[in-house]
Amino acid sequence: MRKLDQNSFAEFIREGDKVVEFSADWCVDCKRVAPDMPAIAEKFAGQFEFGELDVDEARSIAEEYNVKGIPTFIVFRNGQEAGRLPSRDAKTKEQIETFLSEMSQVQK
């Protein structure tokens, strides 16, 4: 999972299918799903490239995408938001995998 910041975010999402996890160091739910993220990224490696953005370090991007809670996962297709898993639904590995499976089925 690639660490993103204010400078690298736009370039990362510009082309292809990307998943960005909006998170923060202090976030309990982010810490809960963190151990599962390498396996999730590997499972979906052929479909998505994964990045992580700290909302405290890139507050303006979080505000631009109206991220209210974390972790929030947003799928981008060629720079455009294609789908979102808000924090209330991103508490378990199963919830994240179900969302990504559904997003991988959506017509590009």
The C-alpha atoms of residue 31 and residue 23 are separated, in whole angstroms, by 9
From 19, 20, 30, 100, active-site residue? 30
From 27, 53, 90, 96, active-site residue? 27
Residue 30 annotated to the active site: yes
**Preceding peptide of 71 cis, ω within 30°:** yes
Do residues 21 and 1 make contact, with C-beta atoms less than 8 angstroms apart?
A: yes
Residue 49 annotated to the active site: no
What letter represents residue 86's amino acid? P
> Catalytic residue numbers?
27, 30
